[in-house]
Structure 1
Amino acid sequence: MARILVADDDAHIRQLVVLYMKKEGYEVRDVANGEEALVVMDKDHMDLAVIDIMMPEMDGWELCKEIRSRGDMPILMITAKGEAEDRVKGFQLGTDDYVVKPFDPTELVLRVKALLKRYRVATSQQVVFGDTIIDGERNEIRVKGEVIQLPLKEFELLFKLGGYPGQIFTRAQLIEQIWGLDYEGYDRTVDVHIKRLRQRLEGRTEDIWISTVRGLGYRLEAKGE
């Protein structure tokens, strides 16, 4: 299930948002400012950020810029300000959606769901890109009906990347989420598995490919995205 990051210095707002997000089955981390939000993002992969503009330490504008510099994660801003210039600035910095306090929590949930769908964050066991299906139930990939069998770890890597197209994953994040926190093996394991994945997919699908983001990690690209 999707992981939601909530950053707001108002404890009551955080509690309200967390309550409604958890009712939908989402995993939620809540923090009081932008700096704490970045600490969470450094430790855990998050799928969507709900952030307030006016926060101490690091405000929503700076946090939005930091998030955008790290990848293509959906961002929804919550603020007490409703002026048009604030909305414009938010969108220029990369905000995907914008709600003004006081807000209807049910509407917020619907907006979060819409953003997750737009970004194609995986909430099921199948991820589809054109004629390519990554099937988490069968641990296989199918291209126009042809089955491509992958070793388990390679498949888990592809399914993880495919669930968040365009999102950058660091090597450390992939090691933690695929091999586990107690993994003590070869530190270039991710690179080796990515290389093998590319070789297996080359010439068999044009719908997806894995890109290297120099100095950061890897992300899955999809045709037409």
Structure 2
Amino acid sequence: MAKILLVEDDRPLARLVEAYLVRAGHTVISALAGDEALALWKSEQPDLVVLDRMLPRVSGEEVCRRIREASEVPILMLTAKESEEDRVEGFRLGVDDYVVKPFLPRELVARVEALLRRARRDWLAPPRSPEIGAFRLDPAARRAWVDGRELELTPTEFRLLQVLLEHAGEAVGRRSLEQALFSGWADASALYVHVRHLRQKIEPDPAHPRYLKTVHGTGYRLDP
């Protein structure tokens, strides 16, 4: 199946999560601290990272930031913090999904496998470089431009823009977007946070969107 880097300093919890992931057929490499996690990520090149937010020596946020500078490997963050501000900061750093403690191990495994399916779909998708209106995408290189300006997008923001461009000018429902981005495993705030971040990066005035419009009662529409 997949090679997963599990970074959790709570040993009993780490053993429990590892047991469930192994039972699901995955190989698990474990780290107890942030610096150890970075070393294992470089040497093992896992398919996915399950990352605790609160870690000794190097924080989970810093581990995420350093990994994101060099890789688009899916990152699922474990956190005891439930505020929207904390989630926004995590998504800004490039986290793909969140699980809030305490959690059911089976739910975590389901979210892991949803992220892996999404990553495989993206990898298998035929490379295209669509240019629609003000936007241009290079899916193979994971690069995007608006009005000739290159955007710095997280993997989830890139996927959101890609899905909206595939349905340019059409209203795309929230549920459809959540399925495309998170395989359906997401809380109500996750999509909103990613839309807000994408607007901040593509819009001349995010408070008055020109491109990414809210369709009330439905979802969102991209007018390129």
Using structure 2 for the length normalisation, give the TM-score: 0.55
Distance 1:128 1:77 in 2: 25
Distance 1:104 1:67 in 2: 26
Q: Does 1:129 align with 2:125?
A: yes
How far 1:209 moved relative to its partner?
Answer: 6.4
- Residue identity opposite 2:125 in structure 1: F
- Residue identity opposite 1:77 in structure 2: M
Q: Which residue of 1 aligns with 2:26?
A: 26
Go from structure 1 to structure 2 and tell me whether the alpha carbon gap of 1:82 and 1:128 turns closer, same or farther (over 3 Å shift).
closer
The alignment-based identity, stated in percent, is 46
Q: Which residue of 2 aligns with 1:221?
A: none
Gaps of 5+ in 1: 132-206, 212-223
How far 1:85 moved relative to its partner?
Answer: 1.0
- Residue identity opposite 1:24 in structure 2: A
How far 1:35 moved relative to its partner?
Answer: 0.5
Counterparts in 2 of 1:1-225, with a 5 A limit?
1-120=1-120, 128-130=124-126
Distance 2:65 2:96 in 1: 13
Distance 1:114 1:61 in 2: 22
| RMSD, matched Cα | 2.6
How far 1:68 moved relative to its partner?
Answer: 0.2
> Deviation digits for residues 81-138 of structure 1, max 9, x if unmatched?
111111111001000000111101111011001100111179xxxx84349xxxxxxx
How far 1:34 moved relative to its partner?
Answer: 1.1
Q: Give the conservation status (yes or no) of the 8 Å contact 1:53–1:78.
A: yes
> Over alpha carbons, which structure has the higher Rg?
1
Go from structure 1 to structure 2 and tell me whether the alpha carbon gap of 1:89 and 1:109 turns closer, same or farther (over 3 Å shift).
same
Distance 2:141 2:86 in 1: 36
Distance 1:74 1:56 in 2: 22
Go from structure 1 to structure 2 and tell me whether the alpha carbon gap of 1:70 and 1:121 turns closer, same or farther (over 3 Å shift).
farther
Go from structure 1 to structure 2 and tell me whether the alpha carbon gap of 1:60 and 1:27 turns closer, same or farther (over 3 Å shift).
same
How many corresponding residue pairs? 135
Q: Give the conservation status (yes or no) of the 8 Å contact 1:47–1:121.
A: no
Distance 2:73 2:141 in 1: 17
SS class of match (2:18): helix
- Residue identity opposite 1:129 in structure 2: A
Distance 2:57 2:121 in 1: 30
Distance 1:210 1:65 in 2: 20
Gaps of 5+ in 2: 128-137, 143-161, 164-224
Using structure 1 for the length normalisation, give the TM-score: 0.55
SS class of match (1:68): helix
Query: Which one has the bigger helix percentage?
Result: 2
- Residue identity opposite 2:69 in structure 1: S
Q: Give the conservation status (yes or no) of the 8 Å contact 1:51–1:77.
A: yes
